[in-house]
Amino acid sequence: KAGVTQTPRYLIKTRGQQVTLSCSPISGHRSVSWYQQTPGQGLQFLFEYFSETQRNKGNFPGRFSGRQFSNSRSEMNVSTLELGDSALYLCASSLGAYNEQFFGPGTRLTVL
């Protein structure tokens, strides 16, 4: 069974731009969670989607948004990029809302 895939793997943007990251969960998984990880920091939870509905949201500004499609694929968008948004963005999928999560390889975003 294919794992979680994320595209693109690497991205370089400049301040003020916006970016869209994509995540395809493991086949059959209906829950997708997004995390931000910066050097030396733990996983910072962004949001979780289950069956196209946002179930939980972390403490991030409204510039960070996401959505989930009917095929469980998910996208997250960051508008008006800031230097501090440079990070590894991880997507994780799980079978249900409360099951163990499996992570994709991540998208490394650099904001210049």
Contact residues: other proteins, CB under 8 A: 33, 41-43, 45, 56, 88, 90, 97-98, 100-106
Sequence-separated (6 or more) residues with CB below 8 Å from residue 62 = none
- The least distance separating other proteins from the CB of residue 83, rounded to whole angstroms, comes to 21
Phi, psi of 83 (to 5 degrees): -55, -35
Beta bridge partner(s), residue 77: 20, 65
Q: Return the number of the residue (79 or 95) whose C-beta is nearest other proteins.
A: 95
- The least distance separating other proteins from the CB of residue 57, rounded to whole angstroms, comes to 10
Q: Return the number of the residue (72 or 107) whose C-beta is nearest other proteins.
A: 107
- The least distance separating other proteins from the CB of residue 56, rounded to whole angstroms, comes to 6
The helix/strand/coil state of 20 is strand
Q: What is the DSSP letter of 72?
A: S
